[in-house]
Amino acid sequence: MPPKKKPTEKPKAVLPSGRKDSSFFEQVYDVARLIPRGRVTSYGAIAAYLGTKMSARMVGWAMNGAVHLKPPVPAHRVVNRNGMLSGKMHFGTPTRMEELLKKEKIKVVDDIIVDFEKKFWDPAEELAI
């Protein structure tokens, strides 16, 4: 039996459309679920925790389907480095993310999290890698 040579290998890395599979994405979801209530983190922090801070974009892309994932991922607790709700428009309604954050006792003004640094939750610190 000859070696299996497949020029077009199908990567299991599929998004929410498929389900859990990809490593990087799954890790992102896992970390996002570990975010305590009332805390927030950034894409770069999660990416850095995973070891690839350069792939911060992928974290955001993973969040694109995190809302449809199960268990639901608190994507509203994940924002960019500036603490701005960059992905608020992807929650179905442009105010959904802000409302969710307000329920978390997090103040949001002008789509920016107040005291973001204080509420910042660093996985590398809390999870103590």
Partner DNA sequence: TTGTTGACCTCTT
Partner DNA sequence: CAAGAGGCCAACA
By CB under 7 A, name the binding residues for DNA.
Answer: 8, 11, 13-15, 17-18, 22, 24, 42-44, 47-48, 52-61, 63-64, 66-67, 75-76, 78, 80-82, 86-87, 90-91, 97
Q: Which is nearer to DNA, 90 or 119 (CB)?
A: 90
**Cis ω for the linkage preceding 94 (within 30 of 0):** no
Q: What CA–CA distance (Å, rounded) separates 15 from 4?
A: 26
Q: Is the dihedral of CA 44, 117, 35, 65 positive or negative?
A: negative
DSSP-based three-state secondary structure for 41: strand
We find the least distance from the C-beta atom of residue 22 to DNA, in angstroms, to be: 6
Token pair of 1 as six digits: 């039996």
Q: Which is nearer to DNA, 1 or 7 (CB)?
A: 7
Q: Which is nearer to DNA, 91 or 126 (CB)?
A: 91
